[in-house]
Chain A
Amino acid sequence: MNRLLLNKIILLLSITSAVIGIGFLFWILITLAYKGIDSIHVTTFTNDLVNGGIRNLLVGQFTMALLATLIAVPLGMMAGIYLREYSGGGKLARVLRNLNDVMMSAPSIVIGVFVYAFMVAPFNTYNGWAGSAALAIMMIPIIVSTTDNMLSLVPQELREAGIALGGSKHKIIIQIVLRSAKIGITTGVLLSFARIIGETAPLLFTSANNQFFTMDMNEQFPSLTVSIYNLATYPDEQSRELAWAASFILTVIVLAINLLGRYATRSKKGK
């Protein structure tokens, strides 16, 4: 019978798409592991890029991402607190919330050229500050949205209890509301950190790259992702191997932070 056959075909196609999606994930991960592990040596971690390692790149990428986090988390959390606790759900809050969502999907390369215009061009040199600023701009909207969502899960009764105790509004927010949303917000911070540590496009014209170890944010700053992009296009086998090693390490870092974030939320729910 046609109806039943059609039903079976569609359900089969649906299962097939899930298999395709998961298939691509494993294809990419297995390729990376196979090429990456093969290319990793002890010197990969102890040498800088100039000597065929990624030590300075890892340090550089983490430095920029951590600085971005230090800028983005307080700003993003404060914004989320305003949207959820102070705005009273008015029109302004609705517009800001939607604009924030739009900002979250803004093309990352555009953020790169935007930061270039006022943090690189005037000084005539790529620098680490600009890289961090570009990453922070990517991160802020994610933190705003997470904080906003996590605060919405805090039961209203907790706030009322705080009021009944005579607490002032900002004390209630800091001591009661934020505290009970702590795990959710931490997860959000971890996930957004995982997102920005793997970004390349915003760094291309801001931090650019540096072959040598440096902690001086005023000069071109080493970036793992920008290096992968450069190395992969070099014709020599050694550069490519290093690109694979770097890609594998980057992916392991990103996925590990991701799974850590997820695990934190799940163990909370399990209680």
Chain B
Amino acid sequence: MNGKVFRRLSLLSATLTLFLLIGIFAILFTYAQQSIQAFGFDFLTIDQWETDEDGYGGVFGGWIPIIGTLLSTLIAMAVAIPLAMGIAIFLTEIAHSNLIRPVSVAIELLAAIPSIIYGMWGLFYFAPIIQELFGGNGVGLLTAGIVLAIMILPFMAAITKDAMNTTPGVLKESAYAMGATKFEVIKDVVMPYSKAGIIGSIILALGRALGETMAVAFLIGSVMSVAHKVTDSTISIPVLLANNFSEAQDLQLSSMYYLALILFVVSFAVISLAKFYFLRRGTK
């Protein structure tokens, strides 16, 4: 192969992701036009999702799935952050060197399990436990949130661990020499040193949780109403798409694209914030 051709092909491939991102945005935006023109920004606050009797028009708003997405993600973050920090601290500061590898592999395998499996398991084994403990009918915000937490845990723990590992040993040793306990070293030396990486890992995991579909589809209950208690069933943007997209037409379909656009823009913003600001990679 000619060198010039090879170079051009590689450049072309490298710009593919850029075009994909632009393409996704353009397509979602185009297909959402009908709904954008019908509802504008009010779409965000309309708490209805109802088709007219003729099956074409109707009133569609994003409020219920948007709130559902945010709340389930919030619960997931509240559960996952302390656990991920604990695991990262365990792997960097506590675990015996023989334990580090098996424990990291186990945590990474947690990330390898397909999300549909989390859904199946959660529905038949985890939801009944939540029902037993907190009442409700088992599926709802809390169940979806906790299982989401387990799913994002590995990402958060892995990046936090890497960030903590960059703390120079000399800094830690000086603190130990001053009589600091392990916890004080972690709190006053390791954490401040790896702050950017830790925040980055949290935001990145947040971005993933927002877009998670299958596990949540099994566990959130898929009811078109805002949850008033954590055990209430509700719905999230990805789940509404998963359940209703294939039967939707016209204005409803366009409103689904509007929701997909909102989800895409928000997760793009969240992940970009994490990547460009907190987890900046060197020019290397």
Give me the interface of A with B, judged by CB distance under 8 Å: 3-4, 6-7, 10-11, 13-18, 20-22, 24-25, 27-28, 31-32, 35, 74-76, 78-79, 81-83, 85-87, 89, 93-94, 96-103, 105-114, 116-118, 137, 140-141, 144, 152, 168-171, 173-174, 194-195, 198-201, 204-205, 208, 225, 228-229, 232, 243-244, 247, 250-251, 254-255, 258, 262
Contact = CB atoms under 8 A, between A and B. Distances in A.
A205 B248 CA distance: 12
B183 A7 contact: yes
Given A31-B125, A200-B214, A201-B115, 18 more contacts: A15-B94, A16-B86, A17-B90, A21-B107, A25-B107, A27-B121, A28-B118, A32-B117, A78-B14, A107-B211, A113-B241, A114-B24, A194-B112, A198-B117, A205-B246, A228-B120, A243-B120, A244-B120
B157 interface: yes
23 contacts: A4-B181, A10-B183, A14-B87, A18-B103, A21-B87, A21-B106, A25-B106, A32-B117, A75-B16, A78-B9, A79-B13, A79-B16, A82-B11, A82-B14, A94-B281, A96-B14, A113-B245, A113-B257, A117-B257, A201-B115, A225-B214, A254-B113, A255-B112
Contacts of A169: 3, 7
Contacts of A13: 82, 86
B196 interface: no
Contacts of A18: 86-87, 90-91, 95, 103, 107
A28 B113 contact: yes
B263 A17 contact: no
A64 B208 CA distance: 24
Interface string B216-239: 011000000000000000000010
Given A106-B264, A200-B214, A117 B281 contact: no
Contacts of B114: 198-200, 225, 250-251, 254
Contacts of B204: 105
A229 B10 contact: no
B256 interface: yes
B94 A102 contact: no
